[in-house]
Chains A and B, each alone.
Chain A
Amino acid sequence: MFGYLIGRLSQAVVVVFAMSIIVFVGVYAIGNPIDVMIDPGATQEIRENLIRQYGLDQPLWRQYFTFVSNVFHGDLGRSMVYNISVTSLVFSRLPATVELVLVSVVIATLIGIPAGLYAGYKPGSLGAKLIMALSVLGFSVPTFWIGMLLIMGFAVELGWLPSGGRGEVARFLWFDTSLATPNGWSHVIMPAINLSLFKMGLLIRLTRAGMVEAMGAEYVRFARAQGLPDQQIVFSHILRNISIPIVTVFGLELGSTLAFAVVTETVFNWPGVGKLIIDSILQLDRPVMVSYLVMVVVLFVMINLIVDLVYARLDPRVRLKGGA
């Protein structure tokens, strides 16, 4: 197990380094950020000073090494647009994204699991077919389009909810959150629903598949034969048995929620990290792009690593094959 752990860890480190080089070179290839930053009338001297200040006159490999050594000193660089450190910029935006993702996960779970259970319990019924059709919609219709429909319906036509922004925030424990004010809630609900739809579709399908399989299993038939009420069978026997794969897949999906948040945050003008990355791409804010992407790579490599290690722990065949 220990050898396997070392092998996987070193692989992860190699991947992170390879990806950081790709990202760095790729981002470097986009436009010239200086042209975007200063006004065209600036003198040549100001221009060159700025280029030197950001180290853009250095060869690419040296810029990369400067970046890496700065990262090891905990410095991810300064945003060229906001002129503050990337770390504090990302962390100032993070709470907004986290609260959005949290609310959407709760919504997806509260609706997705019961709906999936029902669809698996009565697979032929009209309700089940309707639920499955909705899950296909949640899967296939682009997120931004649903978000736009929500805005048109609830914000423009009905005027019930605000169409964008984060609303009032209030301090809760250590950070500001809009979940602490009613106004904030009215802002968060629509984007959260929008972000939850994909995961809801996924949850419905997973739960339904598990439910259908479990309904034919020995232990369910045995429970039936004992005369247990269906309600008890479903909630205390089946749900417990099918919850492990659901939790696994759902946990993996949390990472990709970060990416879907990019779309939702743009539609609803939500000031989270997703909006930050889109803005920095459009404004050629290189340090923010590179740092964000490297952070995302690290996050996904870590998720993969954890999954691998958990699987290896559970299934010795994986670890023996991987060690060979």
Chain B
Amino acid sequence: MNNSSPDNSNVADSSPIIARETTATRLRNFWSDYCESRVALMALFVIIALTIGAFGAPWLVPQDPYDLSLLEWSDAFLPPGEVGSGGYTLLLGTDNAGRDMLSAILYGLRTSFVIGLSAGVLALTVGITVGLSAAYFGGRLEALLMRIVDLQLSMPAILLALVLVAMLGQGVPQIILALVVAQYAYFARTTHGAASVERRKDYIEAARSTPLPTRRIMFRHLLPNVLPPLIVVATVQVASAISLEATLSFLGVGLPLTEPSLGSLISNGFKYIHAGRYWLSIYPGIFLMITVVAINLVGDQVRTVLDPRNSR
């Protein structure tokens, strides 16, 4: 029955195929559906702006927070709006070491994005491999893999990541590894769920009757048809990786302040909130919150658009 070509039918399930849709028209439809929510559109622009700010930080901000020689002790704890020894207005004030908060935040945002994206992509890859293999091969392998995944899913990601980071030590690669181990299970579960349904369809049977290698059937035929739900999980998981990293750094097992991420900045600022120096923690926190909420809003809208029940 399903006569769509599996190779380029990413949203085959969400739109009944009348004529052959090209990828371009599908993308255009997706975009126009996406734009129906103004909030989601705004969230997307916020993410783009934050990305530009984060990755363009070295050219945008007045100070390199990694370079300790640029820091002046006399600049410590300047409230927002003051002019420091650098001669520029400190829009968000300075921290206890005289770091310009805006510079530190944008650099921190960059660290957070790098960690969130790489953890998300790696977890996606591992999760897809585990989920697809389980669904495709079935039997004992499926039972074993999904048992592990289920057990992991019943445990909160933060606890797992906390323990892993404690074992692996501080640093960006360690955190990414911990986040991947803590998060791949979500992707594996989603992939497995979608792939077990797809696997029984005729086009997979047809492909299996040809001498195509198993790997090709799994990744070129099966995978494109389970991608839509994974896209949604991926967006949400990037946001959750960013906030997990922030939480770990806040708990003191994440990144040290010499490599500022949003979490370590907030954690550092937390020590000074009783002294009324709110700007040390509140501004990085606002950036973190905006980032996480914006990514979640985008993910929500993508879910709505891809939901087959909403297709016209």
Query: A residues engaging B (CB < 8 A)?
Result: 11, 15, 23, 26-27, 29-30, 136-137, 139-145, 148-149, 151-152, 156, 163, 252, 255-256, 258-260, 262-263, 266-267, 278, 281-282, 289, 293, 296, 300-301, 303-304
CB 8 Å contact bits of B274-307 with A (1 = contact, 0 = none): 1010100110010011001100110010000000
Assembled-state Cα–Cα distance A256/B152 (Å): 12
Contact between B251 and A262, CB atoms less than 8 A apart = yes
Contact between B278 and A296, CB atoms less than 8 A apart = no
Contact between A266 and B278, CB atoms less than 8 A apart = no
Does any Cβ of A come within 8 Å of B208's Cβ? no
Of the candidates A148, A252, A263, A293, which one forms a contact with B154 in the assembled complex, judged by CB atoms under 8 Å apart? A252
Does any Cβ of A come within 8 Å of B247's Cβ? yes
Contact between B285 and A149, CB atoms less than 8 A apart = yes
Contact between A282 and B252, CB atoms less than 8 A apart = yes
Q: Quick one: given A29-B167, A145-B289, are A260 and B251 in contact (CB under 8 Å)?
A: no
Contact between A136 and B300, CB atoms less than 8 A apart = yes
| Inter-chain contacts of B159 with A (CB < 8 A) | 256, 258-259, 262, 296
Interface pairs (7), CB distance under 8 Å: A30-B169, A140-B240, A144-B247, A144-B250, A259-B158, A262-B159, A278-B162
| Inter-chain contacts of B274 with A (CB < 8 A) | 156, 163
| Inter-chain contacts of B251 with A (CB < 8 A) | 144, 262-263, 266, 278
Q: Quick one: given A26-B167, A139-B296, A145-B289, are A303 and B154 in contact (CB under 8 Å)?
A: yes
| Inter-chain contacts of B246 with A (CB < 8 A) | 142, 144-145
Assembled-state Cα–Cα distance A62/B262 (Å): 43
| Inter-chain contacts of A252 with B (CB < 8 A) | 154
Of the candidates A23, A144, A256, A267, which one forms a contact with B155 in the assembled complex, judged by CB atoms under 8 Å apart? A256
The residue among B154, B155, B162, B243 with the most chain A CB atoms within 10 A of its own CB is: B155
Of the candidates B243, B270, B281, which one forms a contact with A142 in the assembled complex, judged by CB atoms under 8 Å apart? B243
Assembled-state Cα–Cα distance A15/B148 (Å): 9
- In the complex, given contacts A141-B292, A252-B154, what are 6 additional A-B residue pairs having Cβ atoms less than 8 angstroms apart? A30-B169, A156-B273, A259-B159, A262-B158, A262-B251, A281-B253
Closest chain A residue to B163 by CB distance? A293
Taking the closest CB of chain B, its distance from the CB of A299, in whole angstroms, is: 10
Does any Cβ of A come within 8 Å of B166's Cβ? yes
Scan residues 187-242 of chain B and give those whose CB is less than 8 A from a CB of chain A: 239-240
| Inter-chain contacts of B154 with A (CB < 8 A) | 252, 255, 300, 303-304
Does any Cβ of A come within 8 Å of B87's Cβ? no
Closest chain A residue to B293 by CB distance? A140
The residue among A140, A149, A303 with the most chain B CB atoms within 10 A of its own CB is: A140
Contact between B293 and A136, CB atoms less than 8 A apart = yes
Taking the closest CB of chain A, its distance from the CB of B249, in whole angstroms, is: 10
Closest chain B residue to A198 by CB distance? B156
Taking the closest CB of chain B, its distance from the CB of A125, in whole angstroms, is: 17
Does any Cβ of A come within 8 Å of B130's Cβ? no
Does any Cβ of A come within 8 Å of B49's Cβ? no
Contact between A11 and B276, CB atoms less than 8 A apart = no
Contact between B167 and A27, CB atoms less than 8 A apart = yes
Contact between A142 and B288, CB atoms less than 8 A apart = yes
Assembled-state Cα–Cα distance A148/B281 (Å): 9
Does any Cβ of A come within 8 Å of B147's Cβ? yes
Does any Cβ of A come within 8 Å of B72's Cβ? no
Assembled-state Cα–Cα distance A289/B250 (Å): 19
Contact between A140 and B273, CB atoms less than 8 A apart = no
Scan residues 162-199 of chain B and give those whose CB is less than 8 A from a CB of chain A: 162-164, 166-167, 169
Assembled-state Cα–Cα distance A74/B292 (Å): 44
Assembled-state Cα–Cα distance A252/B250 (Å): 27
Q: Quick one: given A142-B243, A266-B251, are A300 and B151 in contact (CB under 8 Å)?
A: yes
Contact between B247 and A143, CB atoms less than 8 A apart = yes
Taking the closest CB of chain A, its distance from the CB of B185, in whole angstroms, is: 13
Contact between A281 and B285, CB atoms less than 8 A apart = no
Contact between B285 and A156, CB atoms less than 8 A apart = no
Does any Cβ of A come within 8 Å of B134's Cβ? no
Contact between A278 and B270, CB atoms less than 8 A apart = no
Taking the closest CB of chain B, its distance from the CB of A216, in whole angstroms, is: 14
The residue among B150, B167, B243, B296 with the most chain A CB atoms within 10 A of its own CB is: B167
Contact between B266 and A263, CB atoms less than 8 A apart = no
Q: Quick one: given A27-B167, A163-B274, A262-B162, are A136 and B285 in contact (CB under 8 Å)?
A: no
Assembled-state Cα–Cα distance A282/B151 (Å): 27
| Inter-chain contacts of B243 with A (CB < 8 A) | 140-142
Taking the closest CB of chain B, its distance from the CB of A318, in whole angstroms, is: 13
Q: Quick one: given A148-B285, A152-B273, A282-B253, are A260 and B158 in contact (CB under 8 Å)?
A: yes
Contact between A30 and B167, CB atoms less than 8 A apart = yes
